[in-house]
Structure 1
Amino acid sequence: MEIKEIMNQVADFFNQHVAPLHKITSVEMNDQEDQEGWKVIAEVIEEKEYMKKYAKDEMLGTYEVLLNNEKEVISFTRRDVRYRSAIGQEM
């Protein structure tokens, strides 16, 4: 299944290069003419050890991830940071 492959690619990329993936909230085809591929919205737990040390709520970063037609991550951008207990808002 193609979506499952895309989700696995994003999870592997984030776990290796950014931070442990919390969850993927959106997978859709990228409909921009100049950039064919996939757009994924993912949530990552930011600075987990720092937050534990100071007894603060964990922070979640929301990232927009773009993949090409070969299902390779070609870019990612953090769009939002919020406390895990805060109600999230979709972009």
Structure 2
Amino acid sequence: MEIKKIIANVTGFFNEFVAPVHKIIAIEEGENNGWKLTVEVIEEKEYMKKYAKDEMIGVYEVYVNAEKEVISYTRRDIRYRGSIN
């Protein structure tokens, strides 16, 4: 299934280069046979533990091309894990 491959590629990319994926909350078909995803990651986990702060969740917008490779990502929001938007 194509979506499983996209999720695996994005998760692998984020685990290696950004931060471990907490959740992928949206996948939409994009332009030129690409995909747009909304990904939540736990930001700076060690820093938050050190200073006894609640974990921070970063919300990223990710674009994947037709070959299912991440071509760009941007953090759109950051919030405390327990907060409700």
5+ long unaligned stretches in structure 2: none
Offset of 1:37 from its aligned partner? 0.3
Match of 2:46 in 1: 49
TM-score (norm 2): 0.96
**Cα distance in 2, alignment partners of residues 47 and 8 from structure 1:** 22
Offset of 1:70 from its aligned partner? 0.4
SS of residue matched to 2:6: helix
4+ residue stretches of structure 1 with deviation over 4 A? none
**Cα distance in 1, alignment partners of residues 70 and 14 from structure 2:** 10
Match of 1:27 in 2: 27
**Cα distance in 2, alignment partners of residues 67 and 38 from structure 1:** 5
CA deviations 1:31-89 (Å, max 9, x no partner) are x4xx540000000100000000111100000000000000000000000000000014x
SS of residue matched to 2:23: strand
TM-score (norm 1): 0.89
Offset of 1:18 from its aligned partner? 0.5
